[in-house]
Chains A and B, each alone.
Chain A
Amino acid sequence: MPASGLLFLVAALALIGWVSARARAARFRAGTQRRFSSLPQHHGWFVALCTLIPALLFLSVWQFTSPALVTDAVIATPAAAALPPPGLDRAAILSEARNLANGYAYGAFHPLSSRLAPAYAAAQDRFDLIASVAALLLAFAGGALSFLAVRPGFSARTHVERVVMALLLAASLLAILTTLGIVASLLVESARFFRIVPVADFLFGTHWSPQVIDPRDPGASLGAVPLFWGTFFIGAIIAMAVAIPLGLMSAIYLTQYAAPATRRWIKPLLEILAGVPTVVYGYFAALTVAPAVRELGVALGIANATSESALAAGLVMGVMIVPFVSSMADDSLAAVPASMRDGSLAMGATRSETIRQVLVPAALPGVVGGVLLAVSRAIGETMIVVMAASGVATLTLNPFASTTTVTKQIVDLLTGEAAFDSAKTLAAFALGLTLFAITFMLNVVALMVVRRYREAYD
């Protein structure tokens, strides 16, 4: 990685370019009545950008190509003669040597990697020097050439603004890039997983116990149906049973009954609920709610009531989602034309009759969209279930029994000590892909429903 000193030097060159180009442009403007298309600072920015962009482009391309060049150089050294043939071992030793050379690691597992580390460091230094010289030359050449272009008739502004526009576009393309990055990384790792475990075993198997994986038939203990059910049970049934009535009734009370002064106080109060970090809810669920739920289960005479029940996690998750449902319902109720409400009231209906028979049915698509978004949020919620739900996958309808979820299993699988390429860790990516696909569909459908509904009343 090129030192920050190099970036500093390039930036300094750009600054020199900016100052001198601005001064030059200011000089030819002085004393004339002519009108120019660009201000002196536009010329300054033009030269600065011409200095920066080629050098930075070169460095970012270098970033991707230099590791391969460095590795080749290391393999060419005599110390590398003892390396095993290409394969996992060789890659492991090389990456260990790289970590040693960069100071990320202090001890080496393999003795060969500590002998290779100096060669690695030397090769890196050599290539860093080449890169630094090349980048500085490029920066200087770009700056000098663009400085020659600074003339009275030159429209620097157009060029600078074109770069600004490109920057704006690049910033928004980053959103697509992130989405693609998510999809690609999940797909690549999942594809490796499905080479070990058949897709059908994973999607339709009903037995999940990743602690003991039979190497001859890994699919037998990696059936994810209990996880899907647990996620749906906690996130879409229990949590929504709490969040929908509470959220909807809060929104109705706030928009239809509460005085504006009350509303001003209550609404931020509800929003605090949404601002509490999920780890705090998780701690509260595990330490306070879960034991209480277990007591309740025992009092009700349920034999296998545990303190890691689906009910405890679902209840707390439901309360967490209340402000979200409430604000979505609030928006949809506000979008219903006032004439519909006034018409109903004028016919002699009471306010609650108007709400139940006119407002809510009219706002229903918006409310449903909001609920779908809330479900998507609940099934992707991690910390509450990690801390309050159990790790044992059971297929049960009993809310007092232990249930696990997709997100809880992802955390459990990836925070263990297993190697990165094992079926266990790859399973986490397959679960992640499933979760992403489901939430993506929920989000897209929900956003579509909400938008179409808004258009209907606009």
Chain B
Amino acid sequence: MTERQPTDWRAPAMQRRLRRRYAAERRFRLLGLAAILASAAFLAFLLVSMVARGAGGFVETRVALPLDLSDVRIEGARLMGPGADLALAGAGLENAVDRAADAAFAPAGGAAILSDGAWLVVRDAVKRDPGLLGRRTVLDVPVATEIDIARKGRGTPEAEASVRRLGDRLSSGLNTDFFAGADATDPTRAGIWGALKGSLLTMAVTMALAFPIGVLAALYLEEYAPRNRVTDVIEVSINNLAAVPSIIFGLLGLAVFLGTFHLPRSAALVGGLTLALMTMPVIVIAGRNAIKAVPPSIRDAARALGASRVQVVFHHVLPLALPGILTGTIIGMARALGETAPLLMIGMRAFIAAPPDRLTDPATALPVQIFLWSDEVSQGFVEKTSAAIIVLLVVLLAMNGLAIYLRNRFETRW
């Protein structure tokens, strides 16, 4: 048996080997950093490209239209009250606006350069100030989508020429229609309020169902459930439901809520029911983790003072676990708010030109609206789609921010 020599770390061979190993170490570390940077770069690119493309969607181009409304005749009394819109439409206001545009912008394309909604702007101005009817005036009205796009720098050569001819009669302003309107075939008039309201109604139904049921189920599983076959089956199905593809829930909604119960198609009620089934397991899992984090000493103390098992849970465990449950709920709701596929299955993809008023009215949701607009061929919808995406992302970010705030503010570390 020969005596082992201690390794000579200064020998050139060993030094080379060490250098090689340290280089590998540095390479590996850089690889890790690169992986993170790649994901972050993708995220940044996604957000920047959405903002760059969508910022224009919040702005509309207007043109100063000289109007002579002296031949639109209507009694002053009819301008007051609910019949005003109909009365003005009947008095030929739209034709008057078109004639005025034809006269003023003949070389640039006449009435064709105005948005379909231009006369509605005039109508609202007249309702605010009936005096406009008798005299000549100049109003800023929205232009057609080709001109709008051309002014923002992505238009066709003809539209660019029109923009040059109109020159400084064009101006820009905040597109209020985008926030107040519903879907429309003309991109200059399309807005997100209809879809956003549909989303809000859907979320209200989802929240009203998924939150109480999810919390109760979490309490049962964590606090009372005996260890037996039934409990195992419940746990497996909840864990599995949390990972079932969302489109399957859409198929369930289609077959059960529409096929069996004959609930109305495209309604926020059905959308909410479907998303509630999808969100419930998320809330149960988050709730169980929050309940598990409440120390047993709290339960023991309450029991020792004579509280019943129900009182222990509802008076002590639940209030302490509530911040954690709420955090999980908000995250689950944010996921449901961004969900599209199940809503497509239950028919919330129709063209809906009016915001829904009731839960059973035909409605659409914001992500579905984004999907529908992304399919439109008209150039004007590209920036609307991106603008709607920005709104959706801002809402989701706010919800997630609220969840993080709640977690930091109220969560107790035992």
The chain A residues found within 8 Å of chain B, CB to CB, are 95, 98, 104, 157, 161, 164-165, 167-169, 171-176, 178-179, 181-182, 185-186, 188-189, 245-250, 252-254, 256-257, 266, 268-270, 272-273, 275-284, 286-288, 319, 322-323, 350-353, 355-356, 373, 376-377, 379-383, 386-387, 407, 410-411, 414-415, 420, 428-429, 432, 435-436, 439-440, 443-444, 447
Residue in B49, B252, B255, B404 whose CB lies within 8 Å of A284: B49
Question: A286–B233 Cα gap in the complex (Å)?
Answer: 41
Taking a contact as CB atoms under 8 Å apart, the answer to whether A429 and B255 are in contact is yes
A-B contact count (CB 8 A): 251
Residue in A182, A373, A439 whose CB lies within 8 Å of B252: A182
Asked if B35 lies at the interface with its beta carbon under 8 angstroms from chain A, I say: yes
* CB-based nearest B residue for A178: B277
Taking a contact as CB atoms under 8 Å apart, the answer to whether A352 and B24 are in contact is yes
Residues of B within 8 A of A436 (CB): 244-245, 248
Taking a contact as CB atoms under 8 Å apart, the answer to whether A172 and B338 are in contact is no
The 10 closest A-B pairs by CB, nearest first: A380-B245, A277-B338, A253-B32, A249-B35, A185-B255, A171-B216, A352-B28, A382-B341, A168-B220, A172-B217
4 more contacts with CB within 8 A, not counting A253-B32, A429-B255, are A179-B237, A353-B24, A377-B245, A387-B374
Taking a contact as CB atoms under 8 Å apart, the answer to whether B219 and A168 are in contact is yes
Interface size on B, residues (CB 8 A): 88
* CB-based nearest A residue for B233: A176
Residue in A165, A272, A352, A386 whose CB lies within 8 Å of B43: A272
21 pairs, A vs B, C-beta closer than 8 Å:
A171-B216, A171-B217, A172-B284, A178-B280, A185-B259, A186-B248, A246-B35, A250-B32, A253-B36, A257-B33, A273-B43, A277-B338, A277-B339, A279-B368, A281-B46, A283-B386, A380-B244, A380-B247, A415-B349, A429-B255, A435-B247
Question: A231–B403 Cα gap in the complex (Å)?
Answer: 34
Taking a contact as CB atoms under 8 Å apart, the answer to whether B32 and A411 are in contact is no
Residues of B within 8 A of A283 (CB): 370, 374, 385-386, 389
Question: A339–B237 Cα gap in the complex (Å)?
Answer: 36
Taking a contact as CB atoms under 8 Å apart, the answer to whether B344 and A415 are in contact is yes
Asked if B254 lies at the interface with its beta carbon under 8 angstroms from chain A, I say: yes
Residues of B within 8 A of A288 (CB): 49
The chain B residues found within 8 Å of chain A, CB to CB, are 21-22, 24-25, 27-29, 31-36, 38-40, 42-43, 46, 49-50, 212-214, 216-217, 219-221, 224-225, 233-234, 236-241, 243-249, 251-252, 254-256, 259, 262, 264, 277, 280-281, 284, 308-310, 314, 334-335, 337-341, 344-345, 349, 360, 367-368, 370-371, 374, 382, 385-386, 389, 392-393, 396-397, 400, 404
Taking a contact as CB atoms under 8 Å apart, the answer to whether B216 and A253 are in contact is no
* CB-based nearest A residue for B263: A104
* CB-based nearest B residue for A438: B245
Question: A161–B312 Cα gap in the complex (Å)?
Answer: 12
Taking a contact as CB atoms under 8 Å apart, the answer to whether B240 and A443 are in contact is yes
Residues of A within 8 A of B247 (CB): 380, 382, 407, 410-411, 432, 435
Question: A254–B284 Cα gap in the complex (Å)?
Answer: 29
Question: A383–B340 Cα gap in the complex (Å)?
Answer: 7
Question: A282–B27 Cα gap in the complex (Å)?
Answer: 34
Residues of B within 8 A of A356 (CB): 28
Taking a contact as CB atoms under 8 Å apart, the answer to whether B239 and A284 are in contact is no
Residues of B within 8 A of A444 (CB): 236, 240
Task: Tell me whether chain B's interface is mostly helix, strand or loop, or mixed.
Answer: helix
* CB-based nearest B residue for A277: B338
Question: A252–B42 Cα gap in the complex (Å)?
Answer: 19
Taking a contact as CB atoms under 8 Å apart, the answer to whether B240 and A167 are in contact is no
Residues of A within 8 A of B239 (CB): 443, 447
A429 CB, nearest partner CB in chain B, Å: 6
**A280 with B392, Cβ < 8 A, contacts A168-B224, A319-B42, A351-B25 known:** yes
Residues of B within 8 A of A355 (CB): 28
Residues of B within 8 A of A279 (CB): 338, 340, 367-368, 370-371, 374
* CB-based nearest A residue for B32: A253
B367 CB, nearest partner CB in chain A, Å: 5
Question: A275–B385 Cα gap in the complex (Å)?
Answer: 19
Residues of B within 8 A of A420 (CB): 259
B332 CB, nearest partner CB in chain A, Å: 12
Taking a contact as CB atoms under 8 Å apart, the answer to whether B234 and A178 are in contact is no
Question: A95–B258 Cα gap in the complex (Å)?
Answer: 12
Residues of A within 8 A of B216 (CB): 167-168, 171-172
**A249 with B374, Cβ < 8 A, contacts A186-B251, A439-B245 known:** no
